[in-house]
């Protein structure tokens, strides 16, 4: 395609490079702050996950400059190492947010890159939010450009589109012009990779870490004058050509309702693939009617949109990672009384327990032709002595009540963050995020994010002494 000032890559780079915090509506800024709060809590909760420990051991063996904060730890790593591990941690529990326009998990790729870049610099909260929104919108627009063929071809959009979004976000934080931002996208496009076949393994959260790292690296290289094709999205043998068969320019450039894609962000309230949440919520609703016992159960039929068949239908999960991508397993866990909002629920012992295994035999999955992006899921619960109970839930519908969303996210954050940093520091972190766009510097927030361990009883100003810090591994179990 002919290069011009109106080419798709140039237009998207220009929109990202010129986005200003003053043009972002207050509700959009509020959702952005909610994304930050949610990601910090989820990343703190995953700070000792096995895949995080492995990545940390590898980074420490490599060595490097102590430039950036590692979430929930006292150790500092190089910017690229921190972005990688923090990105993987934020996606390790499958408890982070997602977005249908991107068809992936945006915050786990964007925020770690921005925090690593800003660490040690006097970056204001407003600039951080501005860059976050710029990256988010870019990832969504490129997602609309190449999906659904891109995803159907086997690419994990968090890995691919997340790399491009992180590059745009970091370019905006560095105030790179449109041309240099387009170059950053060009570099990022050659780094962008990640396969859906690895869902259910440690590679899936690693995808988010690699996207964060490579997006940051791409922007840093572009700032140094590194070259790349400036029209990488539309070029022959460029990103769209290589990553799928679609080029939906009208959808990519269309202005969404309200001007931004961010209000459609979907938050996770269960530590499993978002595609399972419709079945989880519908099952919970049916059980809340009372009278349920496993002995009365005669069968459960889950009707899932066909497009989710390759996303969250691992039939016989062998461990907790696979269970997160199994509708049958998550429904069995709910029926067994296991709280799927608790990250520790998804361990190998729970999924292989006799109670869950027995319930699995009663659950069948069938498919409807409900088109994407709807994820409307029906559950039919068949009990002895009464007509079948039915319920439907669509987890792809964003919450419109931002006050209610805030309440749920604060409760989730508190449950995840307090075991990591203590009640007082969790409250201070939440207050800093609430005031993010007025903060002259994000360094106080980063200082709290990087502190590990439980707190003792706090003094009058809430500043308790941190004890039990150990960066060599998870705390010993009693």
Neighbours of 198 (CB within 10 A): 15
Q: How far is CA 212 from CA 116, 166, 318, 375, in A?
A: 10, 6, 29, 27
Ranges of H-type helices in 147-235 = 149-152, 157-173, 178-191, 203-223
CA atoms of 270 and 342, how far apart (whole Å) = 7
CA atoms of 438 and 124, how far apart (whole Å) = 8
Q: Identical fold at 8-264 and 274-393?
A: no
pLDDT of residue 4: 57
- CATH superfamily of domain region 8-264: 2-methylcitrate dehydratase PrpD (1.10.4100.10)
Query: Alpha carbon 23 to chain centroid distance?
Result: 25
pLDDT of residue 468: 34
pLDDT in tens, 83-127: 999 999 999 999 999 999 999 999 999 999 999 999 989 999 999
pTM (predicted TM-score) = 0.89
pLDDT in tens, 435-467: 999 999 999 999 999 964 433 333 333 333 333
| CATH entry 3.40.50.620 includes domain 274-393 | no
Average pLDDT, the chain: 91
Torsion of CA 7, 9, 13, 14, to 10 degrees: 0
Name the percent of the chain lying above pLDDT 70.
Answer: 93
Confidence band for 372, pLDDT divided at 50, 70 and 90 = confident
Domain ranges of the chain: 8-264, 274-393
């Amino acid at each position: 395609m002919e290069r011009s000032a109106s080419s798709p890559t140039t237009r998207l780079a220009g929109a990202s490079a010129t986005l200003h915090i003053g043009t972002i509506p207050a509700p959009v800024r509020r959702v952005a702050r909610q994304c930050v709060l949610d990601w910090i809590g989820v990343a703190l909760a995953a700070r000792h996950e096995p895949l995080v420990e492995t990545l940390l051991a590898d980074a420490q063996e490599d060595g490097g400059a102590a430039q950036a904060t590692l979430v929930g730890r006292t150790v500092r790593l190089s910017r690229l190492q921190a972005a990688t591990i923090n990105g993987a941690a934020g996606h390790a529990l499958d408890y982070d947010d997602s977005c249908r326009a991107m068809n992936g998990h945006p915050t786990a790729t964007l925020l770690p890159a921005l925090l690593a870049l800003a660490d040690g610099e006097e970056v204001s909260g407003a600039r951080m939010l501005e860059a976050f929104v710029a990256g988010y919108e870019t990832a969504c627009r490129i997602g609309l450009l190449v999906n659904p063929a891109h995803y159907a071809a086997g690419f994990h959009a968090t890995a691919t589109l997340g790399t491009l979004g992180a590059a745009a976000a970091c370019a905006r934080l560095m105030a790179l012009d449109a041309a240099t931002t387009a170059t950053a996208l060009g570099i990022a496009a050659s780094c962008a990779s990640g396969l859906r076949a690895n869902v259910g393994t440690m590679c899936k959260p690693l995808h988010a870490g690699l996207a964060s790292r490579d997006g940051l690296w791409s922007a840093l290289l572009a700032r140094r004058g590194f070259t790349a094709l400036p029209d990488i999205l539309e070029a022959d043998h460029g990103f769209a050509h290589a990553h799928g068969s679609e080029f939906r320019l009208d959808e990519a450039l269309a202005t969404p309702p309200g001007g931004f894609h961010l209000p459609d962000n979907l938050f996770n309230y269960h530590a499993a693939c978002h595609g399972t949440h419709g079945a989880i919520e519908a099952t919970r609703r049916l059980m809340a009617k009372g009278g349920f016992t496993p002995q009365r159960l005669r069968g459960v039929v889950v009707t899932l949109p066909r497009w989710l068949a390759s996303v969250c239908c691992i039939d016989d999960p062998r461990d907790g990672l696979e269970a997160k991508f199994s509708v049958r397993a998550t429904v069995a866990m709910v029926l067994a009384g296991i709280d799927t909002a608790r990250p520790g629920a998804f361990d190998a012992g729970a999924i292989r327990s006799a109670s869950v295994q027995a319930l699995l035999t009663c659950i069948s999955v069938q498919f409807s032709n409900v088109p994407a992006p709807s994820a409307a899921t029906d559950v039919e619960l068949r009990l002895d002595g009464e007509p079948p109970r039915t319920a439907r839930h669509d987890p792809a519908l964003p919450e419109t009540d931002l006050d209610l969303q805030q309440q749920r996210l604060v409760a989730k954050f508190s449950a995840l963050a307090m075991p990591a940093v203590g009640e007082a520091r969790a409250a201070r972190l939440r207050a800093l995020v609430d005031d993010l766009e007025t903060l002259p510097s994000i360094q106080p927030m980063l200082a709290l994010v990087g502190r590990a361990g439980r707190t003792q009883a706090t003094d009058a100003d809430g500043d308790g002494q941190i004890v039990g810090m150990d960066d060599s591994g998870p705390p010993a179990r009693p």
